[in-house]
Amino acid sequence: MAINKVKGTYDVLPNESYLWQALEEKIREILGLYNLKEMRTPIMEYSDVFHRHTELSDMVTKETYDFDDRGDRKLTLRPEGTAGIIRSYVENKLYASQELEKVYYIGPNFRYERPQKGRYRQFYQFGVEAIGTIDPALDAEMIILAYDFIKRLGLKGVRVRINSLGDEASRSNYQEALKAYFTPHIDELCEDCKVRLTKNPLRILDCKVDQKNEAIKNAPTPQDYLNHESRAYFKQVLDHLNAAKISYEIAPKLVRGLDYYSHTVFEIEADIEGFGAQNVLGGGGRYQNLVSELGGPDLGGIGFAFGMERLLLALDAENVDFAKERPLDAFVIVFNDDLKTVATEILYELRKANLVADTNYTQKAFKGQLKQALRFGAKYLVILGEEEYQKGVVAIKNTKTEVQEEVLIPKISKYLLEKLEK
């Protein structure tokens, strides 16, 4: 019986992996311009890292992969990147330097949700966190970075949607206003939202079931309940975006899907053919209590994340040619098995010269080897027959021009490097 992949997962096949590698290289290149350093954390954490009493989002209450290990310790596969980064920041006392820590991460996350195009149960994200201070200029920098990244990838119609949830006092006032507003509408809400009304009314605005409910459409917005300090903070964030000439749209109902956000929240969209309303590629926001909740000092941070599967789908849909698979520089063709050891020697010398080279290992005749070389896109054929070997040479053929020359075996690398340079 054939064993298939787990539902909601996927395989990256050899003819696709170069796209992933190119995207990762682009991430590292662009984030390096903003002086971010990579941070790597485990894919599993103690469950308390995610299952905090303040985090009641669907992602944590319904979608996590939780299990007991052999020592009966409760563990969770990470459903998102931020909490693990903050756990590491606190555990390793990175706050002791009193410097702002700007980091990024790339890796898999796990959520038990309904699989659909671009959304999987194991999915890859790259994300950014700037931890250690609260500053409107830093919020703006994170938004500018997210915007800049999508623009540099080559996607068009890039937009920033931004909102403010305000400080703790503003957010608390807003939660009470939502409770008062939704209580008369309780019978119109789904069963989950009826529970959310008492526990966490902000999540009603994020409900996938009740999205089109008139009561939700007409609900008050966080902007209506911002205090003076929060309004001033948000205005400064927008001033910095204006200074950088970043176009944005204030989205009054935007709350994002996690409970640790406060003050600035944002999303990055792009106009993508066929994506419809699902053109949000990533987003994030500021968090003020997460560091202290995980045992650290009272320090704030801000971050964002992008789903890499959706980015690759978007690039494909827009025909953005951002990655090319490197073809073979040379393919070594041998006419009989006795010459295979010579081919091995030639291949090693070519690779020492940083040339991409290969040969056939499946006993194909000359015609089959030639087809294989052309399928790999080889620029040159290095042809080794008995007659050539007796003379100490190989025939090197340019697959494009079909010009063929004899070259001494010790000079093969030098010859190819000169030709490829031209």
Please state, rounded to an integer, the average pLDDT across all residues of the chain: 93
For the full predicted model, state whether its pTM sits above 0.75: yes
Tokens of 157: 């119609």
- List the beta bridge partners of residue 160: 248, 268
Question: Is the Cα dihedral 50, 54, 60, 61 positive or negative?
Answer: positive
Q: What is the pLDDT, as a whole number, of residue 276?
A: 65
> What are the CA-CA distances from residue 359 to residues 21, 290, 381, 402 (Å)?
24, 55, 10, 19
Of the candidates 311, 326, 325, the residue with the CA atom closest to the CA atom of residue 153: 311
Strand (E) or helix (H) holding 17: helix 17-33
What is the model's pLDDT at position 111?
A: 97
Distances (CA, A) of 54 to 82, 161, 200, 202, 418: 15, 26, 9, 13, 64
Question: What parts of the chain have a pLDDT lower than 70?
Answer: 276-278
pLDDT at residue 187, rounded to an integer = 83
Q: Contact, 36 vs 104, CB < 8 A?
A: yes
Residue carrying structure tokens 């948000």? 234
Which run of H or of E encompasses 303?
Answer: strand 301-307
Question: What local confidence, expressed as pLDDT, does residue 34 receive?
Answer: 97
SS3 (DSSP) at 120:
coil
How is 337-378 classified by DSSP, letter by letter? GGGHHHHHHHHHHHHHTT--EEE--S---HHHHHHHHHHTT-
Report the candidate in 218, 217, 183 with the shortest Cα–Cα distance to residue 198: 183
pLDDT digits (tens, 9 = 90+) for 11-52: 999 999 999 999 999 999 999 999 999 999 999 999 999 999
Q: What is the pLDDT of residue 410?
A: 96
Of 371, 391, 395, 398, the residue nearest 382 (C-alpha): 395
State which fold the 330-421 domain adopts: Rossmann fold (3.40.50)
> CA 68 → CA 53, 72, 111, distances in Å?
20, 5, 17
Query: Domain-by-domain residue ranges, the chain?
Result: 17-167+227-317, 330-421
| Topology of the domain covering 17-167+227-317 | BirA Bifunctional Protein; domain 2 (3.30.930)
Q: Any alpha helices (H) in 92-227, and if so which ranges?
A: 136-153, 168-182, 191-199, 214-217
Determine the pLDDT at residue 272: 86
Task: Determine phi and psi for 359, rounding to 5 degrees.
Answer: -150, 180
